[in-house]
Amino acid sequence: MQEINSNNTCSVIVTYNPDDSLINNVRRIASFSYKVIIVDNGSNEVDALFRSLQAEISNLRVVVNASNLGIAKALNIGIKSALEFAPKWIFTFDQDSLPYPEFVSVYNRAILKLQTDSFGLLSCQFSDVFHPVPEDIRVKQKHTIITSGCLHNTEVFSTVGFYNESLFIDCVDFDFSLRVAKAGYKTYRISQYVLLHHLGNPQYRRFLLWNVSSTNHSLMRRYYMSRNHFFLSKLYFGRFPLFIIKKNFFFLLIILQLLYVERNRKEKLKVMWRGFKDSRSIQKQSYI
């Protein structure tokens, strides 16, 4: 079995208007990567930040897109760049993700527990606050995992292709995970927290004794969340019916949270309805 080390692992980070917290994140990721590829999606005024990172980190490559091409396209650019170095493993990260110091150690312990390096994808739990890492870790098989912190066995790209660029953003990781599963690879998630990561800009509203939260995503994100959700529901219901039913339940819950917590609910519901109608036009085969 090949464990993760700096000779056989590359990492891809997608950025869009990053702040200075990116510096520490890249330092940590570079410590266990043969090559780190940053793919920037048309950010504003980041030249100085990238020059500073390249001067400090020798194993860093930066690819700057002239505009925002979407998370799927950026991931594909980074992954194809990483594949030039023929790694066994490729990690993908969001710009605001910071691996714990124990990150690689925990992943290697997971590989030993699985007793194989022939799985498709492996991820971990994440949180926006630090959690102590226990000695005993658990690994569970999952249908889908998120992109940040995802370890890819590079064999999967020759079998299932790359990320579906027509999705642009949202559900990109779910689509890829399900295609990996359809191809016969197993996907796992480590049950312990070993990644600091933030989701959205949540808002809260009190309901009796509880704080109800909503992610407070922008109109654009709400559009793609809706469009891509319905696309995946139709595409994968026949193969993964229980998963899709569960996903639709949580999608309904997200709408209820939005209605209760957020203010511009009318505008967001309008773009989500438009996303539902546009879901029929997404290309199914745009990832090879």
- DSSP for 17-74, written as a single string: S--THHHHHHHHHHTT-SEEEEEEES-SS-HHHHHHHHHH-TTEEEEEESS---HHHH
For residue 2, being part of any structural domain is answered with: no
Average pLDDT over residues 23-39: 98
Residue 285 has pLDDT above 70, yes or no: no
The domain that holds 113 is classified in CATH as 3.90.550.10
Confidence (pLDDT) at 288: 46
Give tens-digit pLDDT for 85-115.
999 999 999 999 999 999 999 999 999 999 9
Share of the chain above pLDDT 90, in %: 86
Distance CA 47, CA 168 (A): 24
Written as one letter, the residue type at 153 is N
Of 196, 225, 258, the domain-final residue: 196
User: Do 142 and 208 fall within a single domain?
Assistant: no
Residue 207 sits in the same domain as residue 166: no
Do 69 and 101 lie in one domain? The reply is yes
CA–CA distance from 197 to each of 146, 148, 162 (Å)?
11, 8, 24
CA distance 2 to 57: 25
pLDDT at 1: 85
In this predicted structure, what is the pLDDT of residue 256?
Answer: 92
User: Is 288 a domain residue?
Assistant: no
| Domain total of the chain | 2
58 falls within a domain: yes
Helix (H, G, I), strand (E, B) or coil at 42: coil
3 lies in a domain? no
Q: In this predicted structure, what is the pLDDT of residue 284?
A: 63
pLDDT (average), residues 145-165: 97
Residue that wins the pLDDT comparison between 31 and 283 = 31
Q: Of 66-70, 106-110, 216-220, 248-252, where does mean pLDDT reach its minimum? A: 216-220
Identify the weakest region by mean pLDDT among 11-15, 33-37, 83-87, 208-212: 208-212
Is 260 in the same domain as 276?
Answer: yes
Give the model's pLDDT for residue 205: 79
pLDDT band of 232, cuts 50, 70, 90: very high
Distance (Å) of CA 272 to CA 168, 230, 255, 279:
16, 10, 10, 10
Residue 147 contacts residue 92 (beta carbons within 8 Å) = yes
Find all residues with CB under 8 Å of 234, minimum gap 6, and list them: 279
Strand 35-41 relative to strand 150-153: parallel, antiparallel, unpaired?
unpaired
CB atoms under 10 Å from CB of 66, counted, come to 7
Across the strands, what pairs with 206? 211
- pLDDT above 50: residue 75: yes
On whether the CB atoms of residues 268 and 203 are closer than 8 A, the answer is no
Our CA angle for 47, 52, 55, nearest 5°, is 125
Strand partners, 205: 212
Q: Are 186 and 243 in contact (CB under 8 A)?
A: no
Q: What pLDDT score does 202 carry? A: 73
Lowest mean pLDDT among 117-121, 122-126, 212-216: 212-216
- CA–CA–CA angle 12, 16, 20 (5° rounding): 85
Q: Are residues 77 and 125 in the same domain?
A: yes
DSSP conformational letter for 134: P
Domain shared by 61 and 80, yes or no: yes
Q: Which residues form the domain of 138? A: 9-196
Interval 192-231: pLDDT, tens: 999 998 766 777 777 667 777 787 889 999 999 999 999 9
Say if residue 180 is in the same domain as residue 213.
no
Q: Of 249, 282, 254, 281, which is closest to residue 268 (Cα–Cα)?
A: 254
